[in-house]
């Protein structure tokens, strides 16, 4: 989108105006939004003002840490692929680097959505996601992350059983040898379809006695092993992964608002219902109550609205 | 496309009918095509017969080696992205494996065309190109080829000069150490935009005295080094690469018809004019004359028609 072609109404604060004014105007807009159904694509399409706000807020967010409320609103207003591009970019930056976010985006989105996010990434940042991830990582992390964000995975549900058995055996050999960065292990995780991988990992579990993630927990503090387990969870059971991430974010001393916001915003209207079920099953407290206990004000209201407060 | 929905006219040979009959019908069709302008998309769209022929011929080609004429016609009739999918699939198969083809497709097509080819690959073969390449390669070849076919390269012409300098230095260090499979070297070649890479390699040449490909020729017989050089040529000067490939194909004892066909068909209407210029410059004989000397019959006619015989 080029700003040059937009006619901005007089009441919109110019980029030079003060952040406080922007925040106020924003809050008005948000109240207005809450009177609408959650999917407000129509408004997004028609409102030049809205587009202008988004651009302004993106600039603000690039410069300084905003409030949790601003962050959740911004992320919510972005198109899902634009949002993934924004989150992925943050995740490659030194101060906000976060490999889990990269794995999430690479492994829980559809192949086409990942592709679209990479397209949006190039449009906004004038570089490819691949080059930024490759440049900002090294060693085993790079070996795993670059193919994960690069691959265009097949999404059919065909399964080759012979292959599943041979690759389960191969994975087991490599893991027994503690060759966690082995080329074949990474090849299998980063290129096989989710259906095929699922068959392989089920066979692994049946044949060798443990779920693969259990065998990948030899050193619970090893960050690379953690990332491998996150990868496998995101590929095979994303709702469970997200429910756990929410639990960690909420139970953390001081709450991890970035993770909380990210999961709520990116999964709303996707698989939030199933995440809530997983959450309740594992924590014996509904997600909305857990969030309400740990957050407050506009931020709390926004999160609760997004997860569908009282829906289940 | 599903065959089930097509009504096939009575005169079309059924799959069970004999290849000879198919060949004859084909030849009639080809004569008809030559009376049309080269871009015959319209006919392709309207002719159910044509679609049927293509499907039949694809099946034939999958089963047995066809004549050079049949091969060039088939490849010519496929959509460019379907064709790349077909060629890439052949290139990953044991008997027809060819790493150069993979590099060509990964490095000389636009990012979007590569993506579309990967999409077509999945539709036809029910697997991803990435997984097939990863599965059928190993060692250094895999380390280079998988990211090459996976990456979605940025295509803008912005250049970061500081980065070009630092990465030229990094490349020079790795190459001086003969660390040709180094992670950073591969990262730079597989993720940077062509514009950025070009700046980096120009800086390399200026700063360290040799073109990078000269420094990568320490052992002229090393297949991996050859592939690295092919990668760099395809990324920075594709017409020169294709002209050289044509020279090798034509001058070879017995002519390499597969390479000849591939280059002519895939580059016709793209950059064939520039390839012809490069060819003439380097070989002091026009490409059409060189082809005419080495081929004959329908195959020769088809190649000459595709390169635009007498155009230059």
User: Whole-angstrom Cα distance, residue A66 to residue B196?
Assistant: 34
Q: What is the structure's pLDDT at A4? A: 36
The verdict on a CB contact (< 8 Å) between A191 and B153 is: no
The verdict on a CB contact (< 8 Å) between B187 and A142 is: yes
Interchain contact A162–B (C-beta under 8 A): no
Interchain contact B181–A (C-beta under 8 A): no
Q: Which CATH class is domain B16-150?
A: mainly alpha
**What value, to the nearest 5°, has the Cα angle with vertex B51 and ends B49 and B56?**
95
Q: Could you tell me how far CA A193 lies from the centroid of its own chain?
A: 20
The third-level CATH classification (topology) of the domain covering A69-152 is: Annexin V; domain 1 (1.10.220)
**pLDDT tens digits for range A216-271:** 999 999 999 999 999 999 999 999 999 999 999 998 878 899 999 999 999 998 99
Q: What is the structure's pLDDT at B7? A: 38
User: Whole-angstrom Cα distance, residue B189 to residue B171?
Assistant: 10
Interchain contact B151–A (C-beta under 8 A): yes
Interchain contact A187–B (C-beta under 8 A): yes
Output the six-digit token pair for B194.
């062509």
Averaged in consecutive runs of 10 residues, what is the pLDDT profile of chain B (312 residues)? 38 50 56 46 49 65 70 89 96 94 98 97 97 96 97 96 97 98 97 97 95 95 97 97 96 88 96 95 93 93 88 50
Q: What is the structure's pLDDT at A73? A: 85
- 3-class SS of residue B13: coil
pLDDT above 90 (res A70): no
| DSSP-assigned states of every residue in A201-234 | HHHHHHHHSS-HHHHT-SSTT-HHHHHHHHHHHH
User: Whole-angstrom Cα distance, residue A221 to residue A49?
Assistant: 48
> What is the least distance, in Å, from the CA of A141 to any CA of chain B?
12
User: Whole-angstrom Cα distance, residue A3 to residue A1?
Assistant: 6
Interchain contact A15–B (C-beta under 8 A): no
Chain A contact set for B152 (CB, 8 A)? 115, 118-119, 122, 128-130, 150
Q: Is B295 known as a binding-site position?
A: yes
Flag whether the ipTM exceeds 0.90: no
Cβ neighbours of residue A35 closer than 8 Å, sequence gap 6 or more:
none
The third-level CATH classification (topology) of the domain covering A238-307 is: Annexin V; domain 1 (1.10.220)
User: Whole-angstrom Cα distance, residue B118 to residue A162?
Assistant: 24
Ordered by start, the domain boundaries in chain A are: 69-152, 161-236, 238-307
Closest CA to A192 of B56, B130, B157, B103: B130
Q: Which of B126, B153, B158 sits opposite A126 (nearest CB)?
A: B158
Per-residue confidence band for A64, with pLDDT thresholds at 50, 70 and 90:
low
Chain B contact set for A155 (CB, 8 A)? 122
User: Whole-angstrom Cα distance, residue B278 to residue B274?
Assistant: 6
User: Whole-angstrom Cα distance, residue A110 to residue A98?
Assistant: 21
Q: What is the structure's pLDDT at B57? A: 63
Q: What is the structure's pLDDT at B15? A: 47
Q: What is the structure's pLDDT at B38? A: 41
The verdict on a CB contact (< 8 Å) between B126 and A183 is: no
Cβ neighbours of residue A160 closer than 8 Å, sequence gap 6 or more:
A196
Interchain contact A32–B (C-beta under 8 A): no
Q: What is the structure's pLDDT at B251? A: 87
User: What CATH number has the domain spanning A161-236?
Assistant: 1.10.220.10
Interchain contact A34–B (C-beta under 8 A): no
> Do B16-150 and B238-307 share a fold?
yes
User: Whole-angstrom Cα distance, residue A196 to residue A185?
Assistant: 14
The verdict on a CB contact (< 8 Å) between A191 and B146 is: yes
- Arithmetic mean of pLDDT over chain A: 85
Selected for mutation to probe chain B from A114, A117, A128, A196 (highest B CB count within 10 Å) is: A128
User: What are the C-alpha distances in Å from A267 to residues A88, A228, A273, B44?
Assistant: 16, 22, 9, 43
Per-residue confidence band for A63, with pLDDT thresholds at 50, 70 and 90:
low
Between B111-125 and B99-108, two packed helices, what is the crossing angle to 10 degrees? 130
Q: Is B300 known as a binding-site position?
A: yes
Between A161-176 and A183-191, two packed helices, what is the crossing angle to 10 degrees? 140
Selected for mutation to probe chain A from B154, B164, B186, B190 (highest A CB count within 10 Å) is: B154
- Cβ distance A130 to A150 under 8 Å? yes
The verdict on a CB contact (< 8 Å) between A131 and B183 is: no
């Amino acid at each position: 989108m080029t700003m040059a072609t937009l006619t901005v109404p007089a009441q919109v604060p110019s980029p030079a105006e003060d952040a406080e004014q922007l925040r106020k105007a924003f809050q008005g807009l948000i109240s207005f939004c809450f009177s609408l159904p959650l999917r407000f694509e129509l408004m997004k399409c028609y409102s030049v003002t809205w587009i202008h706000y988004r651009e302004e807020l993106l600039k603000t967010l690039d410069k300084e840490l905003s409030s949790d409320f601003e962050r959740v609103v911004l992320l919510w207003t972005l198109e899902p692929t634009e949002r993934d591009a924004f989150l992925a970019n943050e995740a490659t930056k030194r101060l906000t680097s976060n490999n889990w976010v990269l794995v999430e985006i690479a492994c829980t989105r559809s192949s086409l959505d990942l592709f679209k996010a990479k397209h949006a990434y190039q449009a906004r940042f004038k570089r490819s996601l691949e080059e930024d991830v490759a440049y900002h990582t090294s060693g085993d992390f790079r070996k795993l992350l670059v193919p994960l964000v690069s691959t265009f995975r097949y999404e059919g549900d065909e399964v080759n059983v012979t292959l599943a058995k041979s690759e389960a055996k191969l994975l087991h050999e490599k893991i027994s040898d503690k060759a966690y960065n082995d080329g074949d292990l990474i090849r299998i995780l980063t290129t096989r379809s989710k259906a095929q991988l699922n068959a392989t990992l089920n066979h692994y579990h049946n044949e060798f006695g443990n779920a693969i993630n259990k065998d990948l927990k030899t050193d619970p503090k090893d960050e690379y092993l953690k990332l491998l387990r996150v990868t496998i969870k995101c590929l095979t059971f994303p709702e469970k992964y997200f429910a756990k991430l929410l639990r960690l974010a909420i139970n953390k001393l001081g709450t991890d608002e970035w993770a909380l916001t990210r999961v709520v915003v990116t999964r709303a209207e996707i698989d939030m219902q199933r995440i809530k079920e997983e959450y309740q099953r594992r924590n014996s407290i509904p997600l909305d109550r857990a969030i309400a206990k740990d957050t407050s004000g506009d931020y709390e209201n926004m999160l609760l609205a997004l997860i569908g407060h009282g829906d289940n």
